[in-house]
């Protein structure tokens, strides 16, 4: 339901927001509102309505009858905001089914509290990426094993805050803590269908770090020092197309479109498809590689014909960098960062770079402007105005 604030006069504006609450182990509909006589009168008329000091809102038993009654009673009086209450539909349609069976079949230590089956099922049903699934399962198990003697439905916001505080005291990174929060919220909001039980938990401020970039000469050196044409194609594709390592590993033969000179990236980050550029130079190397190695399904395969491993890609880059005497910790993602930065330095419009990288917003892509040096080279330091000779 959309709402145009500009079309309503301030004195007529009334808003009621619905929240999911769990009180005394029962699901409730939380009703948050600004003080207003008309709204208060309607709320008081709802059956068995109660007030929660803890959450600062009225609440009523969660069932379809009461939900219909809320929308019916407030129709024409106030706008009912249900965006926090109703589950968002999964955006991951038509993607490969992710299985987390390996977690079901693990051998676990005695008294280890494992992730609930409902947690695993929901990850599969919502087509979460395998890496995300692994992270969520691992972190949620760390969390529930720190609360081993407490039922999951008895864990409240204060307990979670104290736990997160302990992570800060252990000097865990902001990224780790944010992922921990995501895994906890996934269980209560998605699995237990309580989208806002923990909506007031504070997240650590994300540290803004600049992308790590290498020079054109260093990219050239890494490519030149690969061991064979297969390794050369792997490094060249990461850099020339701005691919993430997982995107490279998921490429299939049909994803290389030599007629349109594009690479089809399927199920990238956020389960998004996109096109990126195919370099004519890299295409020639790919043709040589194909004749020599004869991959059957994936563009890059292991000797057993399976998908190439992420560790193998990292090892290729590390060996080539060492051989090229580059004394930096080079990673696959640095090649993607360098691709974007070098494009920007050569005058490519930021919006095109955004599309090639698969970013939702130019705000994400704009960070490369901070490491592009073409404009910085034009700026003279004021020390040049001094006579230091």
Contact 235, 223 (CB under 8 A): yes
Query: Ramachandran region of residue 297, left (φ > 0), alpha (ψ -120 to 50) or beta?
Result: alpha
Residue 72 phi/psi, 5° resolution?
-70, -45
pLDDT at 98 over 70: no
Which residues are known catalytic residues?
244, 269, 333, 336, 359, 368
pTM of the model: 0.60
**Tens-place pLDDT, residues 278-328:** 999 999 999 999 999 999 999 999 988 889 999 999 999 999 999 999 999
CB-neighbour burial class of residue 308 (10 A; exposed 0-12, middle 13-18, buried 19+): buried
pLDDT band at 370 (very low <50, low <70, confident <90, very high): confident
pLDDT the model gives residue 91: 44
Q: In terms of DSSP bridges, do strands 15-23 and 79-81 run parallel, antiparallel, or are they unpaired?
A: parallel
Q: Can you tell me whether residue 247 is helix, strand or coil?
A: helix
For residue range 175-196, list pLDDT tens digits in order: 899 899 999 989 988 888 775 5
- Between residues 91 and 238, the one the model is more confident about: 238
Least confident of 19-23, 29-33, 38-42, 285-289: 19-23
User: Could you give the dihedral angle defined by the CA atoms of residues 27, 33, 39 and 40, in that order, rounded to the nearest 10 degrees?
Assistant: 70
What domains lie within the chain, and their CATH numbers? 5-81 (3.30.780), 101-191 (1.10.150), 216-370 (1.10.443.10)
């Amino acid at each position: 339901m959309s709402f145009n604030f500009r079309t309503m006069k301030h004195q007529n504006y009334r808003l009621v927001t619905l929240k999911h609450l769990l009180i005394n182990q029962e699901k409730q509909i939380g009703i948050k509102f600004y003080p207003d006589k008309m709204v208060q009168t309607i709320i008081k008329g709802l059956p068995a309505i109660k007030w929660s000091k803890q959450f600062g809102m009225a609440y009523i038993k969660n069932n379809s009858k009461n939900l219909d009654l809320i929308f019916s009673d407030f129709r024409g009086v106030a706008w009912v905001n249900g965006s926090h209450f109703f589950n968002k539909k999964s955006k991951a349609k038509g993607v490969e089914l992710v299985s987390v069976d390996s977690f079901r079949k693990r051998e676990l230590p005695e008294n280890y509290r494992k992730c609930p089956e409902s947690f695993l099922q929901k990850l599969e049903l919502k087509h979460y990426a395998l890496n995300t699934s692994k992270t969520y399962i691992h972190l949620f198990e760390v969390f529930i094993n720190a609360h081993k003697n407490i039922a999951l439905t008895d864990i409240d916001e204060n307990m979670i805050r104290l736990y997160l505080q302990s992570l800060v005291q252990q000097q865990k990174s902001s990224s780790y803590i944010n992922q921990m929060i995501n895994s906890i919220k996934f269980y209560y909001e998605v699995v237990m269908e309580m989208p806002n039980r923990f909506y007031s938990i504070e997240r650590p401020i994300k540290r803004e770090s600049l992308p790590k970039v290498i020079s054109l000469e260093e990219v050239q050196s890494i490519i030149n020092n690969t061991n064979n044409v297969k390794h050369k194609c792997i490094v060249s594709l990461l850099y020339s197309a701005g691919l993430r390592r997982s995107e490279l590993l998921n490429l299939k033969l049909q994803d290389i479109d030599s007629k349109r000179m594009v690479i089809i990236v399927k199920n990238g980050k956020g389960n998004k498809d996109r096109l990126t550029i195919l370099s004519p130079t890299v295409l020639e190397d790919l043709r040589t590689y194909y004749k020599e190695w004869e991959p059957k399904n994936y563009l890059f395969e292991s000797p057993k014909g399976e998908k190439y491993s992420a560790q193998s890609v990292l090892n290729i880059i590390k060996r080539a960098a060492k051989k090229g005497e580059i004394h930096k910790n080079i990673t696959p993602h640095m090649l993607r960062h360098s691709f974007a930065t070098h494009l920007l330095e050569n005058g490519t419009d930021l919006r095109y770079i955004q599309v090639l990288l698969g970013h939702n917003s130019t705000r994400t892509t704009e960070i490369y402007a901070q490491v592009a040096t073409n404009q910085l080279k034009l700026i003279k330091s004021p020390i040049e105005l001094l006579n230091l000779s």
